[in-house]
């Protein structure tokens, strides 16, 4: 039984626009309200995406991101994380799904008010989401040239950050970049997030154990997060909590399902379920201040 505090991170904004019986927040005020209810349920970190007010599709609009952050901070002190991926958007002319440009992705360093945390995928893979809402397969491209530029900007921003690990090769990408001096592997303001079930690798206990072992070999004492899609979310999070992970991620970006397989109506319901399970396996839930300390928020990275 692990005595470490466990951070519950919620990602409330899913890839779908609507789903019968499920409330998928898309407007800044709706995302902020959903985040606040998750905070009340035990989440100390919220991972946000912004949506175009007309199409409700993903957008890199810094003003909308800033509005979301502002509204959340007005309600509570939970930590706010933005991505440096941004996901897919619909091209208005071709009506095709496309990834945001690298310039759009890196534009999120200058949003106001500022976010607390960032995330960064550490490699390329065929992105598949079992919940739907986008093409069956699209290639997420994160080459070394972009990673070097992106991670250096993250380090210069002095924001704590998450390395998204879709398969073991991503860990070796991270080690290579650390060896090159792109970031200091000995600093404590980053962690690894095992994103399971998105097409890069399976969401299985064997895979999780293997990735955790390899991460701890390459980055001793690294903090780690479990993040699985669809109906795999709760089984993998439960395993991760029992294994001593530092963070579990829930929320409608990855899955709408409760542990019993039924869809939740609101994000706070999956937070409540995760808190209950974590306590059942002997984990105490981290407060916002404890999460801040664990994730090195405000720790100088250079």
Token pair belonging to 5:
């505090």
Sign of CA dihedral 290, 172, 164, 250: negative
Q: Is the pTM of this model over 0.85?
A: yes
**Number of residues that make up the chain:** 302
Given this model, what pLDDT does residue 143 score? 87
What does the mean pLDDT of the chain come to?
Answer: 88
Question: Structural domain boundaries of the chain?
Answer: 5-294
Q: What is the pLDDT of residues 7-58, one digit of tens each?
A: 999 999 976 667 788 999 999 999 999 999 999 999 999 999 998 888 888 7
Chain centroid, CA 290 distance in Å: 18
What pLDDT score was predicted for residue 43? Answer: 98
DSSP structure string for the chain: ---SEEEEEE----S-S-BTTB----SHHHHHHHHHHHHHHT--EEEE-EE-TTT--EE--HHHHHHHHHHHHHH---EEEEESS--EEE-TTT--EEEPPHHHHHGGGG-SSPPSEEEEE-S-EEE--TT-SS-S-EEE---HHHHHHHHHHHHHHT-EEEEEESSHHHHHHHHHHHHTTSS-TT-SSEEEEEEESSSSS---HHHHHHHHHHHHHHSTT--EEEEE-GGGHHHHHHHHHHHT-SEEEESTTT--B-TTSPBPSSHHHHHHHHHHHHHHTTPEEPPHHHHHHHTTTT----
Question: pLDDT per residue over 147-199, tens digit each?
Answer: 999 999 999 989 999 999 999 999 999 999 999 999 999 887 999 999 998 76
Q: Which CATH architecture has domain 5-294?
A: Alpha-Beta Barrel (3.20)
Checking DSSP bridges between strand 58-59 and strand 50-51, what pairing results, if any?
Answer: antiparallel
């Amino acid at each position: 039984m692990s005595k470490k505090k466990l951070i519950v991170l919620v990602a409330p904004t899913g890839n779908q626009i609507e789903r019968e019986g499920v409330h998928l927040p898309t407007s800044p005020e709706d995302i902020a309200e959903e985040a606040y209810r998750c905070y009340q349920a035990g989440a100390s970190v919220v991972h946000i995406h912004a949506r175009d007010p007309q199409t409700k599709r993903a957008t890199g609009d810094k003003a909308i991101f800033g509005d979301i952050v502002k509204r959340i901070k007005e309600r509570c002190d939970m930590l706010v994380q933005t991505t440096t991926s941004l996901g897919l958007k619909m091209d208005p002319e071709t009506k095709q799904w496309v990834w945001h440009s690298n310039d759009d992705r890196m534009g999120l360093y200058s949003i106001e008010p500022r976010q607390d945390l960032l995330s960064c995928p550490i490699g390329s893979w065929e992105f598949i989401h079992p919940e739907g809402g986008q093409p069956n397969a699209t290639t997420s491209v994160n080459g070394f040239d972009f990673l070097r530029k992106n991670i250096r900007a993250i380090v210069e921003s002095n924001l704590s950050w998450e390395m998204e690990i879709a398969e073991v090769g991503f860990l070796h990408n991270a080690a290579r970049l650390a060896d090159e001096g792109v970031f200091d592997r000995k600093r404590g303001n980053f962690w690894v997030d095992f994103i399971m079930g998105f097409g890069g690798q399976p969401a299985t206990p064997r895979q999780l154990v293997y990735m955790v072992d390899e991460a701890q070999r390459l980055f001793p004492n690294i903090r780690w997060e479990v993040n699985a899609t669809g109906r795999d979310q709760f089984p993998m999070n439960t395993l991760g909590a029992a294994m001593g992970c530092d963070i579990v991620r829930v929320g409608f970006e990855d899955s709408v399902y409760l542990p019993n397989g039924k869809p939740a109506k609101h994000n706070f319901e999956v937070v409540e379920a995760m808190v209950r399970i974590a306590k059942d396996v002997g984990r105490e839930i981290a407060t916002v201040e404890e999460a801040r300390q664990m994730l090195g928020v405000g720790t100088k990275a250079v």
